[in-house]
């Protein structure tokens, strides 16, 4: 029993010594490995990674490269962190740096790194600035062919950058650059000498919204970055209320192809509730377009625009270009509407619950919206002409007046068979400063014609028109009974060549309460002259 108590005391001491020696040796090994790893990391950074990284960037971007710091952690995985990256185009000292980054982190393994393979790069504070061509008249460079996969081109399996800035400098001197907020940017299997898949989310200022795009970028053109190839598809959701005078949500999708400085785009856009601030109705709007976009200026040439607004189809072409002295862009469109509906245009532009008139209308007009503050209706000009055929009024009281005008104009004042008369209207107009000036307006029903010129306030809704009423019948033929006999004496006063009666008239008041008048004195004086 005594031996059993003494034996553990004797044998336990060598065990504790053995364990101590194991721990000591392990500590030395760990310290040695750590020291070696640190020394190796410093050696890698100083003699291999820093010059290799700088050399690669200089070659691919044709730039002088600055790198503030580069740190390496070898174990347990290889992680490289660099701060203060600046790439300046070697021959363009007069412009901002091509690329800057606050920091970036590289994740890979040593064998893959030696083979110029990187698993992942994450960039913080990325800013890319694309300069214009060195000469405006410089011809396009030869097509940038993809590399054949030579080992000198690095492969980055994934590159991610969030909250960056993509800037495209204008080709015209004195013009501000175009800036896009890159909410998210991701490249997959990136090689600078090849076309690379990418996806991005871009914040668009006006109209306010987010563009999501997936496509291919490259191969990178180091001599002229603005000639780098770009193509893909996009989705765009925007709030049209960010543009003064317009409302509704916009959903758009499409595709683009070309170079950074010139992209051919086509797309489809729709708004379920498009509206103008001057109107009271929301309209479904569907647009298909083809356009050419200058990426250096944002100028857009609209080759064709086909739009459906309510029941009306509108075709247009034009441009959206940056102004020389004013912030913003000017929109010019040549528009055509064939067999549109007059009720759509009235309800879009005026605050009426029911359009006072319905019918088919043809419109040809030129729209010009200069940049600036304030509502679109105050800045825009719209000049053109229209033709309205077989229109009818929705108000029974007004339509009854039109029917009566036709009866009297035909010299059939009591003929109730003349009913529900259709009206034709022609006119030439110019809208500017929320005021519509009508140079010529012809309103015609069977037996009568009205010719007017004047103005209409889109916001005030005030009318100020002057013109003449021409009737087939004489004054006496517009009446019955004794009135007809009395008025026969006046027939010569108001008869004109080609018309039985011509009366100077006015239309004043407001859209809701128009006032119609006959300028009898003017008619008499005209007869005497």
Q: Percent of the chain scored above 90 by pLDDT?
A: 27
Q: Is the pLDDT at 40 greater than 60, yes or no?
A: no
Q: Is the pLDDT at 312 greater than 80, yes or no?
A: yes
Q: Is the pLDDT at 1 greater than 50, yes or no?
A: no
Phi/psi at 503 (5° precision): -125, 130
Residue 101 lies in a domain: no
Distance of alpha carbon 41 from the chain centroid: 50
Mean pLDDT for 356-381 is 87
Residue 135 lies in a domain: no
Residue 403 lies in a domain: yes
Residue 166 lies in a domain: no
Grade residue 362 by pLDDT with cuts at 50, 70 and 90.
Answer: very high
Residue 443 lies in a domain: yes
What pLDDT, in 10s, does the model give residues 446-500?
Answer: 999 999 999 988 888 888 999 999 999 998 999 999 989 988 988 888 888 788 8
Q: Is the pLDDT at 330 greater than 90, yes or no?
A: no
What pLDDT, in 10s, does the model give residues 197-254?
Answer: 999 998 887 788 899 999 999 898 878 888 889 999 999 998 888 777 788 888 999 9
Structural domain range at position 498: 395-528
Query: What's the total number of domains in the chain?
Result: 1
Average pLDDT of the chain to the nearest whole number? 81
Max CA distance (Å), the chain? 158
Residue 346 lies in a domain: no
pLDDT on residue 428: 93
Residue 497 lies in a domain: yes
129/97 Cα distance (integer angstroms): 7
Residue 351 lies in a domain: no
What pLDDT, in 10s, does the model give residues 75-120?
Answer: 677 888 889 999 887 767 778 888 999 999 988 887 887 788 889 9
Q: Per-residue b/e over 158-193, b at no fewer than 16 CB within 10 Å? A: ebebeebebebbbbeeebebbebebeebbbeebbbb
64/70 Cα distance (integer angstroms): 17
Q: Are 419 and 474 in contact (CB under 8 A)?
A: no
pLDDT on residue 33: 44
pLDDT on residue 36: 44
pTM value is 0.72
pLDDT on residue 352: 76
């Amino acid at each position: 029993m005594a031996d059993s108590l003494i034996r553990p005391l004797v044998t336990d001491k060598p065990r504790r010594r053995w364990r101590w020696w194991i721990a000591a040796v392990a500590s030395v090994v760990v310290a040695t490995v750590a020291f070696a790893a640190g020394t190796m990391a410093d050696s890698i950074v100083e003699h291999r990674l820093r010059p290799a990284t700088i050399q690669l960037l200089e070659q691919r971007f044709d730039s002088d490269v600055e790198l503030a710091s580069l740190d390496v952690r070898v174990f347990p995985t290889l992680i490289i962190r660099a701060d203060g990256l600046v790439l300046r185009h070697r021959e363009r000292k007069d412009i901002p740096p091509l690329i800057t980054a606050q920091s970036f982190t590289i994740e890979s393994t040593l064998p893959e790194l030696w083979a110029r393979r990187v698993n992942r790069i994450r960039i913080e504070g990325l800013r890319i600035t694309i300069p214009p061509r060195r000469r405006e008249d410089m011809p396009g460079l030869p097509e940038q062919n993809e590399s054949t996969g030579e080992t000198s081109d690095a492969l980055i399996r994934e590159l991610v950058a969030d909250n960056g800035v993509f800037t495209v400098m204008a080709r015209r001197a004195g013009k501000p650059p175009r800036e896009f907020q890159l909410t998210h940017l991701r490249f997959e299997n990136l090689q600078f000498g090849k076309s690379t898949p990418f996806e991005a989310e871009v914040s668009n200022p006006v109209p306010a919204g987010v563009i999501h795009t997936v496509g291919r970028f490259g191969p990178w053109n180091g001599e002229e970055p603005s000639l780098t190839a770009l193509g893909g598809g996009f989705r765009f959701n925007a709030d049209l209320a960010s543009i003064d005078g317009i409302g509704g949500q916009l959903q758009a999708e499409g595709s683009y192809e070309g170079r950074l400085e010139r992209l051919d785009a086509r797309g489809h856009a729709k708004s379920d509730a498009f509206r103008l601030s001057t109107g009271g109705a929301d309209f479904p709007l569907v647009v298909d377009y083809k356009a050419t976009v200058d990426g250096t200026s944002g100028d857009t040439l609209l080759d064709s625009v086909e739009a459906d607004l309510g029941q009306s189809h509108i075709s247009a072409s034009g441009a959206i270009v940056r102004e020389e002295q004013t912030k913003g862009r000017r929109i010019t469109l040549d528009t055509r509407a064939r067999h549109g509906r007059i009720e759509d245009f009235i309800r879009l532009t005026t605050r009426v619950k029911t359009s006072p008139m319905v019918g088919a209308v043809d419109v040809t007009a030129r729209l010009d919206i200069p940049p600036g503050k304030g509502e679109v209706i105050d800045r825009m000009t719209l000049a053109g002409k229209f033709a309205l055929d077989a229109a009818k009024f929705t108000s029974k009281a007004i339509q009854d007046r039109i029917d009566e005008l036709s009866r009297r104009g035909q010299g059939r004042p009591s003929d109730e068979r003349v009913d529900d008369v259709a009206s034709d209207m022609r006119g030439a107009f110019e809208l500017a400063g929320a005021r519509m000036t009508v140079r010529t307006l012809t309103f015609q029903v069977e037996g009568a014609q009205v010719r007017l010129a004047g103005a209409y306030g889109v916001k005030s809704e005030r009318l100020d028109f002057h013109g003449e009423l021409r009737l087939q019948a004489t004054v006496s033929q517009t009446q019955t009974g004794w009135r007809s006999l009395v008025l026969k004496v006046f027939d010569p006063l108001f008869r004109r060549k080609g018309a039985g009666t011509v009366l100077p008239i006015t239309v004043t008041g407001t859209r809701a309460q128009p006032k119609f008048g006959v300028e009898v004195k003017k008619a008499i004086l005209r007869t005497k002259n």
